[in-house]
């Protein structure tokens, strides 16, 4: 009760709020659905838009179903009754298709106003949505507005449902932009009555049943061919006295010839006695345009807003796509160059060999499944060690298992459950050596790992060393993917951080520290879920160098289910965000702290926060491209991106001495694993912004660790002499069970506080295993522990790494 009260008080003091995570999923789902809707709308309006010029030649087709009265009748057709009408004699109706256009429509309107004539503009819905002000100007200056399809598609070739959609959406945006509706329709690619085909007539008849009058033409200026100003004037000039409906264009390309021809045609025909009218006036159509109802106008305005928003979304996605590509390329180049240089630099020794003994601290909570393997691997080290197992109130008998082994040089310290940071601080206080190694209870060390990880301490500037964590349970597909991520992602980054002197994380699974450095920063803090990242950043800000020793290898268990992986990575990412925020002051500091801030934190922000947030843009755009763009090009770009990852993977596996076989699963990884990691980052950012408290989840232990053995030629190192002083476990530090291990992608101490206790395995420790040759360091044990699918790889020169 007291612990719960303290935790609640701490939460109130820190301003942490218990906001249901479900709300974040609702927000994320809403964003995804909104983005999908915007892209679908953009794809329909832009990439199903038919840009073939009006009146362009088409393949011959039959006209058997076209009524004779329509084929030889007037250009204004009522499709439902197959009736037609023609303009009055000596009357000309100028009609303009494909607009409005921000360049040419205003020029056409200026010419018409200068000569005092009115015309009819058949507008495309998507262009009205782009330029609603021009549609309003057309109506305001006394011209008539008509429909030319929403996406300028050939209505004759379209399905009935799409014809209805094209006309309804076209009418909606006109109503939203101008406040009126119109019954006048000119189908794209239509011409005169005699040019109607069976498919065209089917579309005209359907439009008639839906309340539209189809307006065809009697004279085609052919300005879409750009034949020259004189030719356009000649084509548009009537012969005889019959009324005419003339086809012109105010959009669809350069219309300079149309504007110049119009300035000659109108005064010439006026002088010849021709009267210019709109189509409605030419055929005495009463009230061709009507005010739109309020509801219909609002719907139209909403559609215009949606269309313009989708334009901005696509423009934003395009910029984000370029940004994601640039960041990915920058990271690939940076880690490749850094890895090559790191390999050369680290061939030089740090200084005289470090031979002083080491205290190894193993914090453990319900680790009975693997604690024996972890402890025995440490005692098999070829470097003198003392092992301190801090049992943090386990309920599965973890401490009993270790004590029953009766191994020399191993001590067990019990404390009430207080969290991993408190357990580590307990171990630090109990240690007798100046060099400390911290290892999770689900991790086993290779025999030379301790010796290798302490060698950088020959440099007095080094305060901490990161080791090389390897995935032991890599047999399944999920295990292979995590193995690839550890080698290609984490270890390549660590080499870069080492060279740039800005290492942000020493993993909880395998890390070494100077006692003095830990004392100066106040030990391990429990203020974040990423206590190892928090500690490493604190050391950097205190002026210590933190380096990477790739030859210090340890084997850790990785999550074996997507649910467990999600919980682990979610906690890692959230804890890292906490640590970054806590140490943001490093951005303006100098020295080692400034390197962490301006190099390490900026790198984490760009490549572990922003890039995962932007990366889904690539996938969304790929789906968009497969549906609406060139699928071959999209597949080619995706393949190129995949090949870049494969090449990086091959190089990283070579550096780590790993067989490249698991890389065959990289294509599958892109469709499942990568998406999961993106969602983890997105969810973590939402959680951080909302101020929600992330609860601890215990990861399952699978018992896949085996006990390593040492070479027979070497006597096992004796236990480190421990100073003969009375030891008392320090009091708990008040870190509640909500805090625990992790922080970095290598921390294997996953979810051990607040979860269900692991079952007792009925340990019968028996005698220590006999020492065997180091070529087979991970034999099967009597309890069925399995050997890793890929054991440690040795360098052919006999030295690891």
Which active-site residues does the annotation give?
Answer: 97, 249
Count Cα neighbours of 558 within 13 Å in the Cβ-side half-sphere. Answer: 28
Instruction: Tell the burial category of 505 from Cβ atoms under 10 Å away from its Cβ (0-12, 13-18, 19+).
Output: buried
DSSP assignment string, 13-26: HHT-B---HHHHHH
Count Cα neighbours of 629 within 13 Å in the Cβ-side half-sphere. Answer: 15
DSSP 435: E
Nearest one of 20, 14, 21, 17 to 527, comparing CA atoms: 14
DSSP 61: -
Q: Write b or e for each residue in 584-599: b if 16 or more Cβ atoms lie within 10 A of its Cβ, otherwise e.
A: eebeebeebbbbbbbb
Nearest one of 568, 574, 558 to 608, comparing CA atoms: 574
Contacts of 77 (CB under 8 A, 6+ apart): 70, 83, 84, 193, 204, 208, 213, 214, 215, 216
Report residue 311 as tokens.
């334009």
Contact 77, 216 (CB under 8 A): yes
Contact 207, 236 (CB under 8 A): no
Q: Which residues pair with 410 in a beta bridge?
A: 387
Write phi, then psi, for 782 (nearest 5 degrees): -60, -25
- How crowded is residue 543: how many other Cβ atoms within 10 Å of its Cβ? 14
Crossing angle (nearest 10°) for helices 673-690 and 21-47: 120
| Whole-number Å distance between alpha carbons of 441 and 451 | 19
| Whole-number Å distance between alpha carbons of 65 and 110 | 43
Place of tokens 């209505």: 155
Write phi, then psi, for 546 (nearest 5 degrees): -120, 125
Report residue 239 as tokens.
């012969």
Report residue 584 as tokens.
């943001």
Report residue 148 as tokens.
């030319």
Q: Which residues pair with 184 in a beta bridge?
A: 213
Give the Cα-Cα-Cα angle 637, 640, 644 (nearest 5 degrees).
140
Contacts of 516 (CB under 8 A, 6+ apart): 434
Q: Mind spelling out the 3-state secondary structure of 530-561?
A: CHHHHHHHHHHHCCCEEEEEEEEEEEECCCCC
Pairing of strands 244-249, 219-220: parallel
Report residue 581 as tokens.
């925020």
| Whole-number Å distance between alpha carbons of 752 and 412 | 18
Pairing of strands 410-415, 83-85: unpaired
CA-atom Rg of the chain in angstroms: 38
DSSP assignment string, 664-730: GGHHHHHHTHHHHHHHHHHHHHHHHHHTBPPPP-PPP-----------TTSPPPPPPPPP-----PP
Q: How far is CA 764 from CA 31, 377, 705, 759, 768, in A?
A: 55, 18, 16, 15, 11
Nearest one of 175, 170, 198, 172 to 186, comparing CA atoms: 170
Nearest one of 515, 543, 526, 430 to 737, comparing CA atoms: 526
């Amino acid at each position: 009760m007291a612990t719960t009260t303290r935790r609640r008080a701490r939460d109130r003091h820190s301003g942490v709020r218990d906001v249901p995570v479900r709300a974040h999923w609702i927000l994320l789902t809403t964003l995804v659905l909104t983005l999908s809707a915007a892209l679908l709308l953009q794809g329909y309006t832009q990439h199903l838009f038919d840009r073939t010029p009006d009146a362009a030649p088409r393949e011959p087709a039959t006209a058997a179903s076209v009524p004779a009265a329509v084929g030889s009748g007037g250009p204004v057709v009522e499709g439902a009754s197959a009736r037609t009408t023609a303009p009055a004699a000596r009357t000309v109706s100028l009609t303009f298709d494909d607009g409005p256009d921000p360049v040419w429509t205003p020029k056409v309107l200026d010419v018409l106003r200068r000569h005092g004539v009115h015309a009819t503009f058949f507008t495309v819905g998507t262009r009205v949505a782009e330029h609603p002000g021009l549609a309003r100007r057309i109506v305001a200056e006394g011209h008539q507005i008509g429909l030319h399809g929403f996406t300028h598609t050939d209505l004759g070739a379209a399905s009935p449902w799409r014809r209805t959609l094209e006309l309804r959406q076209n009418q909606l945006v006109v109503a939203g932009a101008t406040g009126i509706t119109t019954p006048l329709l000119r189908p794209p690619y239509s011409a005169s009555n005699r040019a109607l085909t069976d498919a065209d007539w089917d579309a005209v008849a359907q439009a008639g049943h839906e309340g539209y009058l189809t307006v065809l033409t009697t004279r085609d200026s052919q300005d879409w061919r750009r034949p020259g100003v004189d030719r356009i004037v000649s084509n548009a000039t009537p012969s005889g006295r019959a009324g005419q409906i003339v086809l012109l264009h105010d959009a669809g390309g350069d219309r300079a010839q149309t504007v110049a021809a119009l300035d000659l045609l109108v005064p010439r025909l006026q002088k010849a006695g021709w009267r210019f009218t709109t189509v409605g006036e030419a055929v005495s159509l009463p009230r061709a345009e009507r005010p739109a109802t309020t509801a219909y106008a609002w719907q139209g305005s909403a559609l215009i807003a949606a269309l313009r928003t989708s334009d901005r979304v696509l423009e934003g996605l395009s910029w984000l796509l370029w940004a994601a590509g640039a960041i990915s390329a920058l990271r690939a180049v940076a880690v490749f160059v850094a890895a090559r240089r790191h390999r050369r630099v680290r061939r030089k020794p740090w200084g005289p060999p470090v031979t002083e003994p080491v205290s190894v601290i193993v914090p453990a909570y319900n680790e009975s499944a693997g604690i024996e393997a972890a402890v025995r691997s440490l005692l098999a080290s070829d470097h003198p060690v003392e092992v301190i197992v801090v049992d943090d109130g386990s309920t599965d008998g973890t401490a009993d298992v270790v004590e029953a082994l009766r191994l020399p040089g191993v001590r067990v310290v019990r404390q009430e459950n207080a969290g991993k940071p408190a357990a580590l601080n307990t171990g630090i206080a109990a240690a007798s050596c100046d060099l400390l190694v911290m290892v999770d209870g689900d991790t086993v060390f290779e025999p030379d790992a301790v010796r290798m990880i302490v060698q950088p301490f020959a440099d007095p500037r080094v305060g901490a060393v990161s080791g090389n964590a390897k995935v032991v349970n890599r047999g399944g597909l999920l295990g292979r993917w995590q193995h690839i991520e550890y080698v290609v992602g984490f270890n390549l980054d660590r080499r870069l951080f080492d060279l740039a002197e800005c290492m942000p994380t020493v993993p909880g699974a395998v890390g070494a520290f100077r006692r003095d450095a830990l004392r100066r920063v106040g030990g391990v803090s429990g203020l974040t879920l990423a206590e190892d990242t928090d500690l490493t950043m604190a050391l950097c800000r205190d002026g210590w160098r933190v380096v990477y020793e790739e030859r210090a290898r340890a084997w850790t268990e990785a999550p074996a289910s997507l649910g467990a992986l999600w919980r682990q990575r979610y906690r890692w990412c959230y804890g890292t965000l906490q640590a970054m925020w806590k140490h943001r002051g490093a951005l303006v500091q100098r020295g080692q702290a400034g390197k962490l801030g301006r190099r390490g934190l900026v790198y984490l922000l760009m490549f572990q926060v922003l890039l995962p947030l932007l990366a889904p843009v690539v996938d969304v755009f790929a789906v968009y491209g497969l549906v609406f763009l060139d699928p071959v090009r999209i597949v080619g770009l995706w393949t190129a991106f995949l090949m870049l990852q494969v090449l990086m993977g091959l190089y990283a596996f070579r550096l780590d001495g790993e067989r490249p076989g698991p890389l065959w699963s990289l294509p599958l990884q892109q469709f499942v694993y990568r998406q999961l990691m993106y969602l983890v980052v997105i969810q973590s950012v939402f959680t951080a912004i909302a101020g929600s408290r992330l609860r601890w989840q215990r990861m399952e232990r699978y018992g896949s660790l085996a006990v390593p053995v040492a070479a027979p030629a070497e006597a096992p190192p004796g236990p480190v002499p421990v100073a003969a002083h009375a030891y008392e476990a320090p009091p708990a530090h008040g870190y509640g069970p909500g805090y625990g291990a992790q922080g970095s992608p290598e921390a294997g101490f996953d979810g051990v506080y607040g979860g269900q206790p692991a079952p007792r395995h009925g340990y019968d420790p028996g005698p220590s295993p006999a020492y065997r040759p180091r070529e087979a360091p991970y034999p099967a044990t009597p309890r069925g522990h399995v050997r890793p699918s890929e054991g440690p790889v040795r360098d052919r020169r006999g030295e690891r790494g």
